Amino acid sequence: MKLAVAGKGGVGKTTLTAWLGDYLARQGQSPWLVDADTALSLGAALGLPDTALPTPLIQDETLIRERVGKGFINLNPDVSDLPERLRVRLGHINLLVMGSVAGAGGGCACEANALLKSLLAHLLLDRDQCLLVDLEAGVEHLGRGTVAAVDGLIVTAEPSWRSLAVAAQVATMAAELGLTRQVLVLNRAPSSIVLPALAGLPPLAATIPTLSSLAERQLASPSVLGLPQHDIIDRVCGKILAALAARIASPAAGGAQSPSPR
């Protein structure tokens, strides 16, 4: 299963990606987690110390120039060796830190963008593996050539109008690219919540309550794994994956839609 996770900044998107990766690893999978967000915090969320974090691909100018060139650039560089070369292993989890062009600073980022897109396309199109991609709020990394290889999109939001409006926009953009297999996950929300009728919101797969153990942990460590309330997290992960599996299996699982009260 190859999944992308998107949402407005600060809604728990990276935390959810780490939880899903850890859950899948404990289910016997060997998931690949790709940090394709500007914040570059997935490694820390998985418990990696600063000294063990790899240089993000977006900042590796030597590698970018080696594979893509400068000026007249190669838009289809060979990246087949990069996943194993650049990954960091955390037990059964494989972490790739790519970054995003949005966080690369000023000036032209054409070379970096070409390498990032080529690597993501290779991961999605050419490799048969369990993959989770922590995206930016948008879906810029997912062009029309790669989006068909994504089995599903997890749109993460908080129970606020602005957060849900961004979620609806992201879901609509993805649907326009052809990624119609989507679910919504609402963080820090009661299970009884009734969503506003925002056009484009995917169907709600799970709500995550406010976790006191996570709030306490974040004051001392960026890691989100091994919390005392792990049973709640596991139930949420199971619900999300089951909802996605149902939509993937159903040919009639259409695109984003306006939600009905839940």
Q: Tokens 């893509």 sit at which residue?
A: 68
pLDDT at 113: 84
CA distance 198 to 209: 22
pLDDT at 262: 35
Which domains are present in the chain? Answer: 2-249 (3.40.50.300)
Task: State pTM to two decimals.
Answer: 0.90
Strands 88-90 vs 93-97: parallel, antiparallel or unpaired: antiparallel
pLDDT at 208: 97
**C-alpha torsion 114→115→119→120, nearest 10:** -40
pLDDT at 254: 52
pLDDT at 105: 44
Q: How far is CA 53 from the centre of its chain?
A: 18
Q: What is the mean pLDDT of each run of 10 residues along the chain (262 residues)?
A: 91 96 97 93 94 90 90 85 95 93 53 88 92 85 76 95 94 90 96 92 96 93 95 97 89 47 36
Q: Tokens 């925002």 sit at which residue?
A: 198
